[in-house]
A = this chain, B = another copy of it.
């Protein structure tokens, strides 16, 4: 079994590549739920959905979120009625949240609800929320305390970020199956997601970090930083908020106690000695996933980096 730690859009692309180079049934994906939100009374799990939609072959390629070809009639009508629409949901995407919320209200855990949704979407990989308990990433910013989506979507990631907390994490338990999977994995792959707001919430769930430290499996991460800048999103601001430079070296610093291999971008030459000093073996690869072939190539490189056959 291959265990992956995943955020949203970037992870979704790498996982789509992994599901093509290897049997997707071999994948157990631990998804970030720190970005989850209650929106229009519905439980929305943006990162779980991006991963599920990507693996179902239905992620919108232009937006990087939501379903391809979706319409926005409901959102537009809510706007006409004076409602809040800064968080945008397509009409078909909305159905995912309706169904999830229906299952949760019926007493299902988020894990169980996710299994129902991924099965209906035809996803062969197993997608697990990091926890069935609520954990919410909150940011202290120049615009006050904000939930992740408030910061990222409503405020367009423009505010300065001073502090990142994972509310609820201390009391959260890893979702069922996660710790056994880490213990029995052939390899663990940390996707090229934001280390502080995508992977950080997962690591904040008590037991998961220890599971990574204890596992006998090799742990490989793919760096989301290319040439001193994040591939996408506000990772730079979050690293700065922790006093870390925007460099693949910071990824190694954050993951060092349990990381074996870091796949860094082929443009980031010269980091090798610094990574090795941190106990992390560097592997160079093309990390920009500009098309399906690039996703497959990077997924293959991540597996090869830990000597795994696809």
**Which chain A residues have a beta carbon within 8 Å of chain B's beta carbons?**
40-42, 70-71, 73-78, 80-84, 91-96, 98-99, 101-102, 105, 116-117, 120-121
Among B73, B95, B121, point to the contact of A71 (Cβ < 8 A).
Answer: B73
Docked pose: A80 CA to B91 CA in angstroms: 13
A41-B102, A102-B83 known; A92 vs B77 contact (CB < 8 Å): yes
Q: How far is the CB of A3 from chain B (nearest CB, A)?
A: 26
Pick 6 A–B contacts, CB within 8 A, sort by A: A40-B101, A40-B102, A73-B95, A77-B91, A83-B98, A84-B102
Tell me the nearest residue of chain B to A75, going by C-beta: B95
Docked pose: A40 CA to B84 CA in angstroms: 18
A40-B102, A41-B105, A105-B41 known; A117 vs B74 contact (CB < 8 Å): no
Q: Give the chain B neighbours of A102 by CB distance below 8 A.
A: 40-41, 83-84
Docked pose: A37 CA to B83 CA in angstroms: 21
A78 touching B91, Cβ below 8 Å: no
Docked pose: A102 CA to B78 CA in angstroms: 10
Q: How far is the CB of A154 from chain B (nearest CB, A)?
A: 15
Interface centre among A74, A84, A102 (most CB of B within 10 A): A74
A99-B81, A102-B40, A105-B41 known; A91 vs B120 contact (CB < 8 Å): no
Docked pose: A245 CA to B71 CA in angstroms: 49
B80 touching A95, Cβ below 8 Å: yes
Docked pose: A95 CA to B75 CA in angstroms: 7
Q: How far is the CB of A74 from chain B (nearest CB, A)?
A: 5
B117 touching A81, Cβ below 8 Å: yes
Tell me the nearest residue of chain B to A82, going by C-beta: B120
Docked pose: A82 CA to B81 CA in angstroms: 30
20 additional A-B residue pairs with CB within 8 Å, beyond A40-B102, A73-B91: A40-B42, A41-B102, A70-B73, A71-B71, A71-B91, A74-B91, A74-B92, A76-B95, A77-B91, A77-B93, A77-B94, A78-B98, A78-B99, A80-B120, A81-B96, A81-B116, A81-B121, A82-B116, A83-B102, A91-B91
Docked pose: A102 CA to B84 CA in angstroms: 9
Q: Give the chain B neighbours of A75 by CB distance below 8 A.
A: 95
A41-B102, A83-B102 known; A95 vs B77 contact (CB < 8 Å): yes
Tell me the nearest residue of chain B to A71, going by C-beta: B73
A71-B73, A73-B73 known; A82 vs B95 contact (CB < 8 Å): no
Q: Give the chain B neighbours of A77 by CB distance below 8 A.
A: 91-96
Among B41, B78, B84, B120, point to the contact of A81 (Cβ < 8 A).
Answer: B120
Q: Give the chain B neighbours of A105 by CB distance below 8 A.
A: 41
Docked pose: A75 CA to B42 CA in angstroms: 15
A99 touching B71, Cβ below 8 Å: no
Tell me the nearest residue of chain B to A100, going by C-beta: B81
